[in-house]
């Protein structure tokens, strides 16, 4: 597995190997020992699967707060997305900054998102499916969000806001200036993150 460090501390782009022949392909998409070798020391507890038929659908930006904050390992077995993460860790030198990467079935890549970042995506192809592992169980009480198109974030989404399909809940999330402090860099590093 090839792994690249991205500009936000602890965020990594992973490329699992895919072995093909006339029957199709085989790929080992997750092995804990391999992730440990690349500095990802997280126990994943739950798998989630979303299916989105329409291009230009935005889901996010989502996160859970402590004590049920989640690290995520995201991949796309069908279709393609622009996957976006925003650093919410106060005292981080990259607080409020984001990374956006294309994840797709064709590229067969994955994104590791440590605790302390908001996560969301926009579909780039019809009938896109997203699978992601999380390090804590889902909790409605601990679920929070960040406004996906907050101008302060400077995210270049591949869809205009008026054309995006966004849930009413996601459209009502606060911008980053109104977000309480949920994560400190040191606290995030000890709770499923791989920050220094």
CA–CA distance, 114 with 111 (Å, rounded to integer): 10
d(CA 112, CA 133): 9
10 Å CB burial of residue 36 (0-12, 13-18, 19+) is: exposed
Secondary element (H or E) of residue 171: helix 168-171
**Catalytic pick from 15, 62, 98, 138?**
62
- Catalytic residue, chosen from 98, 132, 138, 182, is 132
CB 121 within 8 A of CB 58: yes
Query: Residue 35 gets which letter from DSSP?
Result: H
- Report DSSP letters for 126-147, one per residue: TTEEEEEEESS---GGGEEE--
**Does 62 qualify as catalytic in the annotation?**
yes
Query: Rounded CA gap, 111 and 138, in Å?
Result: 19
Neighbours of 166 (CB within 10 A): 21
Q: And the tokens for 157?
A: 């989404």
- 8-state DSSP, 179: -
Catalytic residues: 62, 132
């Amino acid at each position: 597995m090839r792994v690249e460090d991205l500009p936000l501390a602890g965020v990594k782009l992973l490329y699992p190997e895919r072995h093909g022949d006339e029957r199709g392909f085989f790929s080992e998409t997750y092995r804990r020992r391999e992730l440990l070798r690349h500095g990802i020391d997280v126990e994943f507890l739950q798998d989630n699967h979303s299916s989105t038929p329409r291009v230009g659908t935005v889901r996010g930006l989502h996160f859970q707060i402590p004590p049920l904050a989640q690290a995520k390992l995201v991949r796309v077995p069908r279709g393609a997305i622009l996957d976006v993460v925003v650093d919410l860790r106060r005292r981080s030198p990259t607080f409020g900054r984001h990374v956006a990467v294309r994840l797709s079935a064709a590229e067969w890549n994955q994104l590791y998102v440590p605790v302390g970042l908001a996560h969301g995506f926009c579909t780039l192809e019809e009938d896109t499916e997203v699978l992601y592992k999380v390090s804590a169980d889902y909790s409605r009480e601990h679920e929070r969000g960040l406004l996906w198109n907050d101008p302060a974030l400077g995210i270049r989404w591949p869809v205009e806001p008026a054309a995006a399909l966004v849930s009413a809940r996601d459209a009502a999330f606060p911008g980053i200036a109104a977000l309480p402090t949920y994560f400190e860099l040191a606290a995030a590093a000890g709770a499923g993150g791989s920050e220094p």
